[in-house]
Amino acid sequence: MSTHIGAKPGEIAERVLMPGDPLRAKWIAETYLEGAECYSTVRGMLGFTGRWKGVDVSVQGSGMGMPSASIYAHELVNEYGVKTLIRVGSCGALREDLQLRDVIAAIGSSTDSNMNRMRFDGLIDYAPVADFGLLRTAVEVAERQGVTMHVGPILAADAFYTDRPDLYDTLADYGVLAVEMESAALYTIAARFKARALTVLTVSDHIKTGEKTTSAEREQTFSQMVEIALDTIIA
């Protein structure tokens, strides 16, 4: 067991999908993974291992925000030997050309988090980016599955409820597609500890139009994103 994950050694696969929502993890495991078994219920942050197309895959909830996601990514890589992490999350669209339920792959992640400023002493604006091989595979998989996947930069924000919506407009002007809350930390930790990471997202709400999905839909219906992530992680 690690501090926050209750799995025994060997119970977590080298390939892990990471949704923020632990109940999305349960839905993914029960819907897609053959022989899925729950390896951790610590803090209700559920984790499961099963097989996708004959390959061992785990799915681990990460919680909301970079402090929480960092704990799970760190322990998965450093204490369980995980090599590949694909976040499967929800996000708010910043640009009008995006629709509810569109799928996005995050090539890079800007952030307002202070974590990397601390890491680099405030001297470097580190650019957290996806693993290129994983991203290329995800693009190929999405094409094969007939899903239009938007590939571009996103924002990983510390706050879900922002006092500065004007900054979202500015970021959209600079090509940033959407906002979520974990990708910059995931990419940074993967780089630091020599793992591979990618973030694939579904637009759950639209910052410009105010449209939104329900929490039940965010938990159980983002299947295109999950199927792209699953076929990518075993490729």
Ligand X SMILES: O=c1cc[nH]c(=O)[nH]1
In the complex, the smallest distance separating the C-beta of residue 101 from ligand X, rounded to whole angstroms, is 13
Strand positions, DSSP E, the chain: 15-18, 34-40, 47-52, 55-60, 84-93, 103-111, 149-156, 178-180, 196-206
The interface partner of residue 107, options being ligand X, ligand R1P, none and the CB cut-off 5 to 8 Å by kind, is none
Judged by CB under 6 A, the residue of 91, 105, 138, 176 near ligand X is 91
Beta bridge partners of 151: 105
Q: How many residues does the chain have?
A: 235
Answer yes or no: are the C-beta atoms of 94 and 176 closer than 8 Å.
yes
CB of 127 to ligand X, least distance (A): 20
Give the footprint of ligand R1P on residues 72-111 (CB under 6 A).
89-90
Give backbone dihedrals phi and psi of 27, rounded to 5 degrees, phi first.
-60, -45
Touching ligand X, residues 194-223 (CB under 6 A) = 204-205, 207
Q: What angle do CA 69, 152, 57 make, to 5 degrees?
A: 45
Residue bearing tokens 């579904």? 202
Verify binding: residue 180, ligand X, rule CB under 6 A. Answer: yes
**Antiparallel, parallel or unpaired: β 47-52 and 149-156:** unpaired
Residue 9 CA to residue 160 CA, distance in Å, equals 35
19 counts as binding ligand R1P under rule CB under 6 A: yes
Q: Taking CB under 6 A as the criterion, which residues in 152-191 touch ligand R1P?
A: 160, 180-182
Report in angstroms how near the CB of residue 3 gets to ligand X at its nearest.
Answer: 25
Q: Which of 50, 28, 19 is nearest to 200 (CA)?
A: 19
- CB closer to ligand R1P, 95 vs 218: 218
Binding mask of the shown chain, residues 40 to 79, with x at each position contacting ligand X by CB under 6 A: ----------------------------------------
Question: What is the dihedral angle through the alpha carbons of 177, 181, 184, 185, rounded to the nearest 10 degrees?
Answer: -170
Q: Catalytic residue numbers?
A: 205
Residue ranges in contact with ligand X by CB under 6 A: 90-92, 160, 179-181, 204-205, 207
Residue ranges in contact with ligand R1P by CB under 6 A: 19-21, 64, 89-90, 160, 180-182, 218
